[in-house]
Structure 1
Amino acid sequence: AAAMDEVVGELDRLEAVFSTFRRDSQISRINAGDLHLLDADAEVLDVLDACTWLEHASGGAFRARRPDPPYALDPAGFVKGWATERAAQRLTDRGLRHWYVSVGGDVIAHGTPAMGRSWRVALADPRASRQVVGVIEIDAGAVATSGTAERGAHIWDGRTDTPADVLASLTVTGPSLAWADALATAAFALGAYGMTWLERFDDYAGIAVHGDGTITTTGAVAPAPPVLVA
């Protein structure tokens, strides 16, 4: 219980730093002109550096700014997975070898649930509430999904400032939740090209659900190969 309290405490702390819904967060203060970017905490600069790299890598499809004037800073597309991974690290720091953390549908796991077994993560059907289209099995690592199932069309293509809606959902597996989540967001924003783009990242694999229910996967194989069970 104490270890999980530390996880929740770290998530709360990071929420206070990065939330665009809190006027006193560092991101909100930067947007308001009350805090110079260079005076922000090192972790804020690290996140924004990662966002800048991802924006360039995706040709502008991923963007850590709001899609409407004054284009306020909003690194949520990277922070969600990064914060969860950072908080979950507290469990390893506590000496726990086998654990599983799920926040907002994104999963990071360490070890195994039992001898000879893998962690099983349900892949939600973005077209039907409480339905699944398969199960992903991982021995360790992360699973992150971007799509329209929970919040509708909330991911924007930074190249056009319009909602990304070519795919219904895109799930990425790999060793890091921070990057699995960020790559899922960027690939989803890239639309039809997203799965091809994702294949350049050898440690990550993608599973896309199209509007007609068709499922496609990337050719990349993660260190712990994901298995899609129909």
Structure 2
Amino acid sequence: MGSRCDIRVVADDGEAARLIAAPAIAEVRRIENKYTRYRSDSIISRINAAAGLSVVECDDETAALLAYADRLHAASRGLFDITSGVLRKVWDFRNSRLPRSGALNELLPLVGWNKVVRGNARVFLPMRGMELDFGGFGKEYAVDQAAAVLAEMGVEHGYVNLGGDMRFLGPRADGAAWSIGIQDPRAMANTVASLPISRGALATSGDYERFIEVKGRRYCHVLDPRTGMPVSYWRSVSVVAPLALTAGSCTTIAMLMEQDGLDFLDRCGMGYLAIDQQGHIFRRTP
């Protein structure tokens, strides 16, 4: 998943805990292998390789995720677009370089979920060079699936944490809620708040995860699919929801909607903690 991941469960000893966690870890690895763009045999890589050439058959799980992506696209007024991952090709977040002149304009014609042809468990990208990328919700989906595996095993105390996207199966063994710190996006060793959570999910998106600074301006990895440029209104948005998939999707949409992000979260009834570029904190209890 490209990040630190951990599973915490209550057990008699370390070996028992490892045995409990093993099936959930295997489920995370299954999902990563299936949907990563770093493996040529993944379903995502096969769909992308067939762009402009042929239709690709999808299994039920993939079809359901594509349908979810369609709902997110509609709910976000087109801002959550899983074809926009192709824009990463011109953003160099490792070497602090901005896209060369004209590079974004060359890629923007390849962005557009409305161009994707779907139906009867099939998907077709009509233009060569188009890509799908599940990076916007794949990790959160894996969190929920791993938690479901643990729940089926009878786990009632613990959580799954994949790179800060978390799903809680129940409180600590003594019944107390887990206290989860929200990182200060400008002082990484500090927290700005602690949230007590026993069940449900928490996800955060921000401009501090992957970014570059050029001439004093910060450019983060959350890109507006209409322009190819990074959003800039929020330092971070954390959302509490029943599912990690929902929480993670809503944080990203709020980031993409910029000044309208909190109105979106309010309409959805989500609990959140958001920090704008001036450092002002906004909260809503679910």
Return the TM-score normalized by structure 1: 0.89
2:26 maps to which residue? 9
Identity of aligned residues (%): 33
User: Within the alignment, does 1:194 sit opposite 2:253 as a pair?
Assistant: no
Mapped partners of 1:195, 1:94: distance in 2? 37
Q: How many equivalent pairs are there? A: 218
2:243 maps to which residue? 176
> Is the partner of 1:179 in helix, strand or coil?
helix
1:96 maps to which residue? 155
User: Which segments of structure 1 move beyond 6 Å, counting only runs of 4 or more?
Assistant: none
Deviation of the 1:136 alpha carbon:
1.0
Structure 2 stretches of 5 or more lacking a match? 1-17, 88-106, 111-128, 212-219
1:30 maps to which residue? 47
Mapped partners of 1:35, 1:26: distance in 2? 14
1:214 maps to which residue? 280
User: Within the alignment, does 1:51 sit opposite 2:69 as a pair?
Assistant: yes
Q: 1:167 to 1:9 in 2, by over 3 A?
A: same
Which range moved further: 55-64 or 113-122?
113-122
Mapped partners of 1:131, 1:71: distance in 2? 40
Q: 1:104 to 1:27 in 2, by over 3 A?
A: same
Deviation of the 1:160 alpha carbon:
2.7
Deviation of the 1:90 alpha carbon:
1.0
Matched to 2:19, the amino acid is A
1:228 maps to which residue? none
The alignment yields a C-alpha RMSD, in angstroms, of 1.6
Deviation of the 1:161 alpha carbon:
2.4
The partner residue of 2:168 within 80, 105, 109 is 109
Contact conserved, 2:147 with 2:169, CA < 8 A, in 1? no
Deviation of the 1:95 alpha carbon:
0.9
Contact conserved, 1:26 with 1:35, CA < 8 A, in 2? no
Deviations 1:82-109, CA, capped at 9 Å, x for gaps:
1111112111111111111111011111
> Is the partner of 1:108 in helix, strand or coil?
strand
Mapped partners of 1:211, 1:82: distance in 2? 29
Matched to 1:137, the amino acid is P
When Rg is computed on C-alpha atoms for both structures, the one with the higher figure is: 2
User: Within the alignment, does 1:85 sit opposite 2:144 as a pair?
Assistant: yes
Mapped partners of 2:182, 2:158: distance in 1? 20
Deviation of the 1:74 alpha carbon:
0.7
Deviation of the 1:58 alpha carbon:
0.5
Deviation of the 1:158 alpha carbon:
2.3
